[in-house]
Amino acid sequence: MAGLEVRGAVVRYDGTTAVDDVALDVARGEVLALLGPSGCGKSSLLRAVAGLEPLAGGTVRWDGDDLAGVPVHRRGFGLMFQDGQLFAHQDVAGNVAYGLRVQGLDRAARAARVGDLLDVVGLAGYGDRSVATLSGGEKQRVALARSLAPQPRLLLLDEPLSALDRALRERLATDLRAALLATGTTAVFVTHDHDEAFTVADRVAVMDAGRLLQVAPPATLWAAPATRTVARFLGYQAFVADDGHDLAVGPAGLRVADPVPDGAAVPHGAAVPDGAAVPDDAAVPYDAAVPDGAVPGTDGWSARVVRSVVRRGRPEVTVRVDLGEGVRDLVALAAPGRVPADGAAVRVELDREGCAVVG
Amino acid sequence: MTTRRHLPGAPRAGRVLAWRTGWVLAAVVPLAFLGLFFAWPVAALVARGFVADGALDLGGFADVFSDPRTWRIIGTTLGQAVVGTVASVLLGIPGAYVLYRCDFPGRALVRGLVTVPFVLPTVVVGVAFRALLATSGPLGFLGLDQTFTAIVLALVFFNYTVVVRTVGGLWERLDPRAEQAARSLGASPARAFRTVTLPALTPAIASAASIVFLFCATAFGIVLVLGPLGYGTVETEIYVQTTQFLDLRTASVLSVVQLVVVAAALLVANRARSRRERALHLTSGTSARSLDLRTDAAPLAVTAAVVLGLLALPLGTLLVRSFEVPDGWGLDNYRNLGTTGGANALSVTVWEAAANSLRTAALATLFAVAVGGLVALVVSRRPRARAGRRALAVLDSVFMLPLGVSAVTVGFGFLITLDKPLGLDVDLRTSGLLVPIAQAVVAVPLVVRVLLPVLRAIDPRLREAAATLGASPGRVLRTVDLPVAAPPLGLAIGFAFATSLGEFGATSFLARPDTATLPVVIYRLIGKPGAENYGMALAASVVLALLTATVMLLAERLRGDRTGEF
């Protein structure tokens, strides 16, 4: 098996087990995202692969060679940190050239390669800048160029975009994918953001509580989450029984039935005038959540509107509803321009395009 | 993917072993140094007091503590330390505010001036205050010469810097928005200071106060030069009992008393310091605003009075009076530095003593920086094993001990143990290495305190980043740790050199007449009668002060950002 091969990996810190019997393969040229909530052990696994944490059990191999006892600097694995960890006493070019100097490249070759890499990360001409003058996004670009420069046989990225704001993160994720493809780099990318994982990776490994739950390409993972935990972590908001299947309801898996049924206007006889303040949750008590006589079924559920927001041009309606797991607040989409009033009784139904069968 | 040289995956057990051995050696060498040149001599001296005719004899405690003189001396020591500490803190807090929280033209210059006293040799300070307060001096009419007040003034002169720099360093980085929030909630400036800023500064104040207390309680040169006849602290009494009365038993008991006081002060300092390190995480950026002559009038007035009256005046007087000769003004005192003094007061000329000083200080600096650098390097590591981390914490504390243990004790301990160290037939006492080694023991804690915070502040992931880029552990040290530690290393060298130049307590024991250093000859000169000798003492003090100030100035130049203590 070419590439990275992790078998039965265990990492422990002072008695607690951070990584518990993990097996993972990454083929040469592949980009794998390690996705999981914070504290699930994904960073520990990454550090163990890099050689920064000793394994309490199991093996890490590259192209079949066991790396036990091979120190960090001889593994040929690059590592990029969440906060870059640039060397403050060197300028941008000095940082990018660090690994090249270690390899003993001569000055001309170094300068050429630094120029190429600054091009790849979109920072051409930044070589003389002091790293203190860079913005957060620029620092991460320099850190990426620095990790790519020595042509690591495997690049490990530890939440490289998490410290950045949302818009920048989305743009950099795309740029990162392009840079990894352009340099043909094998990479393991740790993140807690599924959008980021899906943007960057060929395959996504979902991890929770020290164990790997599922490894699959993004589309497969999304279409067929292996367990409810995986589904929940990907953003599926509820589960319903459907023909003996366990159906996960995605963020776009519920919609407000159109048209809104007659006589379902406002509870307690109190009209909510236009422009009135959005009632907080207390204004819609749980015992008043589901109107009497509501019959849950395949053609929909009775629900009560808690509040509505318009996100990316589409109304998202938070409804209080019981899909069979108890009364919960879930998000249902509504057609543009058809936003029900807060407190209104509505029917919601499944949109199967936004749902997936678990297992 | 072809250019990179990948090494085979086979374990490099040999290299790893060599690297581990290197770290162990890095810890063992300083420990051996401290054990041989500090723990052993001090223990030997203390033991002499408790062993009579080959058996343990604790009678010394009963004898010494039943003597009212002992209690008087302990009382004097504590009184002197408490008054000196309180005065330093009360004057230092306004100083920290003006010099670190406010911005005004010439601030860097005043900050530099305030730093000078801390590194001045105690003997020089003593001579400067004598020159100021003696009946012939400008403030002679106050009648303060050789009084308790004179000693306290000199102690504040020394320790003002410690308070200003420790408290100011934190104050500078305090987020001003907390105080602004209090103001917006209706608090007056005074109330906002008392309820928000002062509590935030408390750890730094406590840390500074405990260090100042330590320095005040163990002051030696100042008390010897400025103290009235019969005035004694524990430190000077150890000196008197060993050198004049040869009563080792009493000296040993007093050494133990001093150790207890010092250990208590260090404990408080350590606690305050760890609290301060926690507090610092909550703060951000530096924020100084320009000085407002109206609202900042009170702290400004206090600071100006201290800087001009307490710091500049004694030094100015020393400088001016060094040109005073019996028949007016002239360079005679400086010309006389080429002689051995009136009535051959000395065995060497003052210039020869200055050369001795530079030579010993250079050697001492070499030892201190090598040992202190290794300690800082080892202690700054973060081993995975809990036992390892605990061992490093112990190592850290152990190397602070020489800061508090009487230099006199160290010096005398050397004399009784190093005639045949470890049974070897090498008499270190005549080798000329004894004085530099003793000075190095005193300077090591300062080196550690300067380097350690800087090395600790390096994010361990920075080293990991270098390692994943292919840098070997040695290369990581060279390319990550060294560039960060280089500027403070310059400062540490400066501190070690300045401390060694001014070291008096241990050197006065160990230096032979022909290898006397500047502080030693200055002390001898003021002890001899004659205006010529006194004038020479003043001139020699100016020379020593200039040497020290030059060294510190160079060292400060080398340092960029201030992270270390002192």
Give the model confidence (pLDDT) of B530-549 as tens digits. 778 888 888 999 999 888 88
Question: In angstroms, rounded to a whole number, what is the distance separating the alpha carbons of residues A240 and A297?
Answer: 10
Q: Does B268 touch chain A (CB under 8 A)?
A: no
Q: What is the pLDDT of residue B2?
A: 41
CA distance A53 to chain B (A): 9
Q: Are residues A188 and A213 in the same domain?
A: yes
Q: What is the pLDDT of residue B548?
A: 86
User: At residue A63, does pLDDT exceed 80?
Assistant: yes
The shortest CB-CB distance from A153 to any of B1, B461, B479 is to B1
3-state secondary structure of A121: coil
CA distance A179 to chain B (A): 15
3-state secondary structure of A188: strand
Contacts of B9 (CB under 8 A, 6+ apart): A62, A65, A66, A67, A70
The shortest CB-CB distance from B4 to any of A14, A79, A103 is to A103
Q: Does B485 touch chain A (CB under 8 A)?
A: no
Q: Who wins on pLDDT, B69 or A23?
A: A23
Q: Are residues A101 and A170 in the same domain?
A: yes
Q: What is the pLDDT of residue B277?
A: 53
Task: Say if the Cβ atoms of A73 and B8 lie within 8 Å.
Answer: no
Domain boundary among A201, A229, A257: A229
Q: Are residues A73 and A208 in the same domain?
A: yes
HEC-encoded secondary structure of B278-329: HHHCCCCCCCCEECCCCCCHHHHHHHHHHHHHHHHHHHHHHHHHCCEECCEE
In chain A, whose CA is at the least distance from the CA of B487? Answer: A89
pLDDT tens per residue, range B300-314: 899 999 888 888 898
Separation of CA B58 from chain center: 33
Q: Does B484 touch chain A (CB under 8 A)?
A: yes
Q: Are residues A208 and A258 in the same domain?
A: no
Sign of CA dihedral A99, A101, A103, A106: positive
Contacts of A211 (CB under 8 A, 6+ apart): A20, A21, A22, A41
A64 assigned to some structural domain: yes
CATH homologous superfamily of B21-563 equals: MetI-like (1.10.3720.10)
pLDDT tens per residue, range B258-271: 878 877 777 777 77
The shortest CB-CB distance from B483 to any of A66, A89, A152 is to A89
Q: Are residues A221 and A313 in the same domain?
A: no
User: At residue A130, does pLDDT exceed 60?
Assistant: yes
- Chain B residues touching A99 at Cβ < 8 A: 469-471
The shortest CB-CB distance from B468 to any of A65, A78, A87 is to A78
* CATH code, domain with A202: 3.40.50.300
In chain A, whose CA is at the least distance from the CA of B480? Answer: A87
In chain A, whose CA is at the least distance from the CA of B14? Answer: A69
* A·B CB contacts under 8 A: 103
Please enumerate, as own/partner, the contacts of B279-282 that have beta carbons within 8 Å and a separation of 24 or more.
Answer: B279/B170, B279/B200, B279/B203, B280/B170, B280/B173, B282/B175
Parse chain B into domains and list their residue ranges: 21-563
Phi, psi of A206 (to 5 degrees): -95, 130
User: At residue A299, does pLDDT exceed 90?
Assistant: no
Task: Say if the Cβ atoms of A103 and B472 lie within 8 Å.
Answer: no
User: Nearest Cα to B548, choosing from B200, B64, B119, B99?
Assistant: B119
Query: Letter for the amino acid at B204?
Result: A
Q: Are residues A195 and A310 in the same domain?
A: no
Q: Are residues A222 and A256 in the same domain?
A: no
Task: Say if the Cβ atoms of A85 and B7 lie within 8 Å.
Answer: no
Q: Which residues of chain B have pLDDT under 70?
A: 1-16, 52-54, 272-288, 343, 404, 419-431, 558-566
A284 assigned to some structural domain: no
Q: Are residues A241 and A148 in the same domain?
A: no
Q: Are residues A38 and A102 in the same domain?
A: yes
3-state secondary structure of B51: strand
Query: Letter for the amino acid at A157?
Result: L
Phi, psi of A183 (to 5 degrees): -95, 0
CA distance A74 to chain B (A): 6
Question: In angstroms, rounded to a whole number, what is the distance separating the alpha carbons of residues B99 and B551?
Answer: 23
Under 8 Å between Cβ of B139 and B89: no
Residues of A with CB under 8 A from a CB of B: 14, 50, 52, 54, 62, 65-79, 81, 85, 87, 89, 98-99, 102-103, 146-147, 149-153, 156, 184
Under 8 Å between Cβ of A266 and A341: yes
Q: Does B4 touch chain A (CB under 8 A)?
A: yes
Q: Does B471 touch chain A (CB under 8 A)?
A: yes
The shortest CB-CB distance from B4 to any of A72, A76, A98 is to A76
Q: Are residues A41 and A91 in the same domain?
A: yes
Task: Say if the Cβ atoms of B470 and A81 lie within 8 Å.
Answer: no
Sign of CA dihedral B513, B519, B523, B525: positive
Question: In angstroms, rounded to a whole number, what is the distance separating the alpha carbons of residues A176 and A190?
Answer: 13
Do the interacting molecules here have an ipTM over 0.95?
no
Separation of CA B440 from chain center: 12
What's the pLDDT band for A33 if we cut at 50, 70, 90?
Answer: very high
What's the pLDDT band for A340 if we cut at 50, 70, 90?
Answer: confident
Task: Say if the Cβ atoms of A68 and B469 lie within 8 Å.
Answer: no
A33 assigned to some structural domain: yes
User: At residue A286, does pLDDT exceed 60?
Assistant: no
Question: In angstroms, rounded to a whole number, what is the distance separating the alpha carbons of residues B280 and B456?
Answer: 14
A207 assigned to some structural domain: yes
Q: Which of A60-64, A346-350, B200-204, B556-560 has the highest mean pLDDT?
A: A60-64
N- to C-terminal Cα separation, chain B? 51
Q: Are residues A48 and A151 in the same domain?
A: yes
Say how many domains are in chain A. 2
Q: Who wins on pLDDT, A298 or A174?
A: A174
User: Nearest Cα to A134, choosing from A95, A181, A76?
Assistant: A95
User: At residue A284, does pLDDT exceed 50?
Assistant: no
Question: In angstroms, rounded to a whole number, what is the distance separating the alpha carbons of residues B431 and B366?
Answer: 17
The shortest CB-CB distance from B469 to any of A68, A98, A156 is to A98
What does the block give as tokens for B146?
């050789």
Portion 136-175 of B in contact with A at CB < 8 A: none
A61 assigned to some structural domain: yes
A273 assigned to some structural domain: no
In chain A, whose CA is at the least distance from the CA of B11? Answer: A69
The shortest CB-CB distance from A102 to any of B462, B473, B475 is to B475
Quote the domain boundaries for residue A129.
Answer: 3-229
Q: Are residues A207 and A302 in the same domain?
A: no
Under 8 Å between Cβ of A121 and A145: yes
**Kindly report the CA angle at B256 between B410 and B422, in degrees rounded to 5?**
40
